[in-house]
Each structure stands twice: as structure tokens, then as C-alpha cells.
Amino acid sequence: MSAELKPQKTAKTAPAWWTAFRAGWERMMQKRWIMPALIALGFVLSFAIPQFGLLDAYVQLVLMYVGINIILTASLNLVNGYMGEFSVGHAGFMAVGAYISAVLTVMVLPPALSPWLFPLVVIAGGIGAGLVGLIVAVPSFRTRGDYLAIVTLALNMIVKSAIENIDVIGGPRGIPGVDKLTTLPWVFFWTVLTIWVIRNFIYSNYGRGVLAIREDEIASELMSVNTRQTKLMAFVISSFFAGVAGALFAHLLQFISPRVFDILKSTDVLIMVYLGGIGSLAGSILGATIYTVLLEVLRPLGMWRMVLMPLMLVLLMLFRPRGIMGLRELRWFIPGVDLMAITRWRKKKEVQHDSPAGN
Amino acid sequence: MTALLEIEHLTHYFGGLCAVSDFNLSLETGELVGIIGPNGAGKTTIFNLITGIYKASKGSIRLEGSQLIGLKPNFITGMGIARTFQNIRLFKDLTVLDNVRIAFYGQAQVSMFAALAGLPSNRREEERISDRAMDLLAIFKLDGLAGEYSKNLPYGQQRRLEIARALATQPKLLLLDEPAAGMNPNEIIQLMEFIRWIRKDFNLTIILIEHQMRLVMGICERLKVLDFGATIAEGLPVEIQNNPRVLEAYLGQGVE
């Protein structure tokens, strides 16, 4: 009742610069060629930067971490944001990918060949992680929410202690001396591929099933969504790309040990997902970039960094609980066929009405 | 000719509580049957058993001769049974168009690879599904709201959208769970017209659960009355109206 008694807020006219900015933004969003152009430009830059030393080695390293974190964030967002499950063991899948790929390049493949076979090594890491994801998908048929969180948490721990107890792969000492095969172009390539595949998935028939599960699992089953198939796909795709990120990570860090892939690493990814925004690819990119860069920029603060970052998260959860982009998407990431679905249908109807053959 | 839906001796227990006991129903194609009864009589449980959300303790449910018990809900929906819910269960944070498109999940012809790689075949299928969903929305006069989040729709339109979504699965049999809940007498008359119309236009057989006697008596050809899981009466609406056991279930026993 009090709301009715309050004096109505007079509609404020937006400042001129804001109106201009909105209009410019709107025009830019409608240009469908910008996204492919940006990707092409990024590709050229990813080759040019290391070649001509446009940025110093440290900045390049940070850029590669940003890319890897985007892959991790987008893949976890598929399960946590789009499907609405709560998986907290993403580092476990990452570890599987990292170890499979590192074992391949360090122990199995001849050193001369490994740079050439690196893409295959990364894919192998992804497939290994994907198979583990398959195992996680099964309990997710039965449990949801908190229970699935515990299952994935347990998986993270199992993977970590399993690696610690296998002496062939170094046990707790890890694998040192991994070749630095991860380069800026490769990171860029895999980042683009991840975003592209997840985008295709989300805006397909299967992806709508994923969204339906988030909204109402029972209702989605009754609307003919094969929830088992959908969950299986989402988990496998998500863990596949976590494995890919792990493989890239291992060949960037050049040293992996089980400790790298503990719960804290999983928490990092979770933070990036919820910072950037659940159910949004643009959000995943934003979240991963902001978090990674801020951690580096705030490095001089030392211990205070770990006070400031969580504080930022608390504030974010208070004011934007779904993250910066929460459930919204930049139009550039939405396929044209989906974006234009309604408009195209209207146009088609108009044509049918206008044609004299109709009726 | 076999019946469209044949339910025999359907019994279901929740722990020790018997929610439905020995329920029988034979439904011919095109019929409109109502299930009525006081709160907690087991009406919605019957819908949950038919659609596969619960697995019946005993009995059989056959659609055109094939057994439904033990099948997964999405499979049963694919066989031609769709339903709406007592408390509206739309996908709230999705658009009206997406709500309907999701119901085409089982009919979409697209391989996983084509979907992930964004092949032209996936694109064509997406266009086809979107167009069919929009056509359906247009029939229900919701096409103007296709881009709106379904949670932003007013109540009556949410009800309509739920029926549109159910029809998108191409059902033969539609189960309506209290479609008139929260409607005023005027809206109920409109709803009656609406149900008659979709029944004719979509060639539906309908089972209706309802409390609103005005609606039930107005359109149902046959009624089943449940109380505490047991069928206490069945027959034409006129017969039910004067059945002493029904009056007793609804109003209680008279004082001698």
C-alpha cells in the first residue's frame, strides 16, 4: 500500500550523451559483420603480437591465461548457468585434460613430433575429460542442486588424490619439464572454437532442452525434452572444454602437479562464472577477463588482493546476484536465425497476405 | 475398435497411503471426460500416473494398445499425450516463443553434430520449428507477445500459452488440470468455448480435471467422481448432479 501512496517519480529525461551512446550502441549491435571481423582481427593479432613483439612477454602470458579462463568459464557456464545445475568441481576435469596431454607430450610422443601433434594432444585431453564428464552426468540424472554440488566436489577430490597416488605420472610431485607448446594463436583458436560450439549448442534444439531443464525439469520432460540426453550432452561438452583448457594450461605453465587442480581452482572458475553472469557467453568472456586482469593488476597489493576480490564479489551478489550479464546476451553472440525468428515469420505472413493468390 | 486410452485397475500408493485405488477408464477417440472430486481425491495423481511422472503400483494404462507404465515422461509425450498443470508451470525466464519451441524437442530432426557445428541442416530445422511455433502462437493470438518473457504475461494469457505449448507436442490426448482455476464466471464461459474449439480444430480427446461445476457440467460428456482415491460415481453430468454419494463427498453427510 505504501507504494501507492508514494509520489510518482517524474520520468527523468536521459542526458543527451546517454541517448547518443544508446543509439550508437544499437546501431553497432545490428551490424552482423562486426563479430566475424573482430575474430579475424584477433587471429591476425594473435600471430602478429608474438612475431613482432608488440606486447611484452608478461602481457602475452596474461592474455593467454585470459583465453584459458574464458574457455573454463564458458564451459562451466553451460552447466551452472544455462542448465541451472551446480557443478563445483571444474578443476577436476581440467586436471584430467592437463595430465593426459602432458603425459602424451612428455612420455609418449617423441619430442620432435609433439609441436605438430599438439592440436591432437589437446583434443585427447578434452576427450579424456569428456569421458569423466560422462560419469558425472549419471548421478545428475537423479540429484540436483546441493547434491550434485557434493558429487562434483567429491569428483574433484577423487581426481586429485588419484593422481597423487599414481607414481608413473609423478604422484604428488607432478610432471615437470612440460614443453611450452601453448601459443597465443592456439589459445585464441581454442577460445573462439569453445564459444562458437557452445553458442551453436545453446541456440539449437538441444540447447533449448538445457534451458528448459533449468526452468522446470518436470515440465520439460512433459514437453518431450529428453532430459537424460540433454544433460549428458551438456556435461560432456562442458567437461570436454575443461579438458581442453587443462591441456593448454599444462603446456603454458610447463609444470603440473595435483595441487594446482584443487578446490580453489574450481572456486576461481565459479567466481568468474557468477561475476560475468550466468547463462551468458558475453558474460563468461567479461567475467574471465575482469577477474584474470584484476588479479594481475592488484598484485602490488599483496595479501590485500585477497580481501578486495571477495569483497567485490559480495557487493556483486548483493546488487546483481545473476552477475554482470545475468541471463542476457550480447546480440552478436546470438545466431541470426534465432534473432530474426519472429521478424522473418512476420515478413513471410505479410507476403502471403499481399499475394493475390492467397485466400 | 480399440479405445484410445484404456486404464484398468490403476492403483497407486504413497508409502502406506492409497492415493488412487482401482481406477478404470476407457476413452474413445474424440471424447471429453471430466474427473471431479474434492481436494486430495487423487485427480492430479491420475494425470501424473498417465504421463509417467509416477510409476503406478498396480494396474495398466494403454494408449492405442501399447502399455505406458514404466515409460519415461518424454517418451509418453512423444506418443501423443500432453498436459497442462494446475499451478501454471511455464518456463518463466524464457520467451513465449521459446516456451513453445521447447515442446517441439521430440519432433526435431537434427543430429547432434549438425547442431554443434551449426550446419545448414540445423539452420533449416530451426527455421521450420520457429515458423511452426509462431503459427501456433498466432492461432492462440499470442504472436504479438512472442518475444516477451512468459513470466510477464497476464494470468489468462499464461493459461492460454500453456495450452498452446501442450498442443505443440502434437497430442492425441490432452489432459487439462484445472484450467479454470482463478477465473471468474465470464472467463469460464470463454474458456468453455475455447476448449470446444481446440477439441474440434486439433482433433483432440480431452480429460478435464476441474472444480468449477459450471465448466464441468457445461462441456463434459461423461464424468468420473473420485473421493479418497476411489471412484464413487460415474456417468452423465445430470446423473452425477443428483447422485447422493457425490453430494455427500462434496457437502458432507446430512444430519438425521
pLDDT tens sequence across A97-113:
999 999 999 999 888 88
Q: Is residue B179 part of a domain?
A: no
C-alpha cell at A45: 593479432
Lateral strand order in the sheet of B66-67: B17-27, B5-14, B58-63, B66-67
Three-state DSSP class for residue A279: coil
Classify residue B195: in a domain, yes or no. Answer: no
The 10 Å CB-count burial string (b at 16+, else e) for B23-53 is: bebebeeebbbbbbbeeebbbbbbbbbbbbb
| Residues of chain A with C-beta less than 8 angstroms from the C-beta of B138 | 349
Q: Nearest 10 degrees: CA dihedral of A193, A194, A198, A200?
A: 0
pLDDT of residue A18: 92
Q: What angle do CA B172, B176, B178 make, to 5 degrees?
A: 175
What is the residue type of A76?
L
* A276: contact with B, CB 8 A cutoff: no
**pLDDT tens per residue across span A63-73:** 999 999 999 99
Residue B250 CB-half CA count within 13 A:
14
Q: Does A141 contact chain B (CB < 8 Å)?
A: no
Whether residue B175 is contained in a domain is answered as: no
Contact B206, B199 (CB under 8 A): yes
Q: How far apart are CA A158 and CA A144, in angstroms?
A: 20
A230 within 8 A of A213, measured Cβ to Cβ: yes
Interface contact B89-A218, CB threshold 8 A: yes
pLDDT given at position A9: 55
CA atoms within 13 A on the CB side of A312: 19
Euclidean distance between the first and the last CA atom of chain B, given in angstroms as a whole number:
49
In a domain, B110, yes or no: yes
* Residue A220 in contact with partner chain B when CB distance is under 8 A: yes
Q: What kind and span of H or E run contains B240?
A: helix B237-241
The enclosing H or E element of B33 equals strand B32-36
Mean pLDDT by runs of 10 across the 359 residues of chain A is: 50 83 91 93 95 92 97 97 93 97 93 91 97 89 82 94 93 92 96 97 96 94 94 96 98 94 92 94 96 92 84 86 90 92 92 64
The answer to whether A250 touches A156, Cβ cutoff 8 Å, is: no
Interface test with chain B among A83, A193, A208, by most B beta carbons within 10 Å: A208
Interface probe, candidates B71, B105, B132, B174, chain A, greatest A C-beta count within 10 A: B105
Q: How many CB pairs under 8 A join A and B?
A: 131
- Round to whole Å and give the CA distance between B60 and B3: 14
Contact: A223, B92; criterion CB under 8 Å: no
Matching residue, cell 592437463 = A98
Model pLDDT, residue A7: 53
Only one residue has cell 503459427, namely B135
Q: Which residues of A are less than 8 Å from B85 in CB distance? A: 219
Query: What pLDDT was estimated at residue A356?
Result: 56
In a domain, residue B188? The reply is no
CATH code of the domain made up of A34-328: 1.10.3470
Distance (Å, rounded) from C-alpha A325 to C-alpha A283?
Answer: 5
Cα separation of A294 and A286, whole Å?
12
Residue B136 structural domain: 93-170
| B residues 50..109 contacting A (CB < 8 A) | 51, 53, 72-74, 77-78, 82-83, 85, 89-94, 97-98, 101-108
CB A279 within 8 A of CB A81: yes
CB pair distance less than 8 Å for B126 and A342: no
Min distance A151 CA to chain B CA atoms (Å): 24
The vertex-A219 CA angle with A214 and A224, nearest 5°, equals 100
- CA distance linking residue A295 with residue B222, whole number of Å: 70
> CA-nearest residue of chain B to A344?
B131
pLDDT of residue A6: 53
Q: Which residues of B touch A209 (CB under 8 A)?
A: 102, 105
Q: Flag whether residue A226 sits within 8 Å of chain B, measured between CB atoms.
A: yes
For residue B37, the model assigns a pLDDT of: 87
Q: Does A213 touch chain B (CB under 8 A)?
A: no
Let me know: does A309 contact A260? Beta carbons within 8 Å. no
Return the pLDDT at B250.
79
Q: Distance (Å) from the C-alpha of residue B201 to the closest C-alpha of chain A?
A: 19
Comparing alpha-carbon positions, the chain A residue that sits nearest to B107 is A224
pLDDT at position B50: 96
Who's near A7: CB < 8 A, 6+ residues apart? none
Which residue in B44, B51, B54, B74 has the most chain A C-beta atoms within 10 A of its own C-beta, making it the best mutation to test that interface?
B74
Per-residue pLDDT of chain B (256 residues; tens, 9 = 90+): 578 999 999 999 998 889 999 999 999 999 999 999 888 888 999 999 999 999 999 999 999 999 999 999 999 999 999 999 999 999 999 999 999 999 999 999 999 999 999 999 999 999 999 999 999 999 999 999 999 999 999 998 999 999 999 999 999 999 999 998 888 888 889 999 999 999 999 999 999 998 888 888 889 999 999 988 899 989 888 888 888 888 888 777 766 6
Interface contact B126-A203, CB threshold 8 A: yes
Q: How far is A209 from chain B (nearest CA, A)?
A: 6
- Whether residue B141 lies within 8 A of chain A, CB to CB, comes out as no
Domain-embedded: residue B208: no
Which residue reads 597489493 in cell numbers?
A301
A216 touches chain B (CB under 8 A): yes
- Please report, for chain A, the start and end positions of each structural domain, with discontinuous segments joined by +: 34-328
The grid coordinates of residue B218 equal: 457445461
Q: Chain B within 8 Å of A351 (Cβ-Cβ)?
A: no
- Domains contained in chain B, number: 1
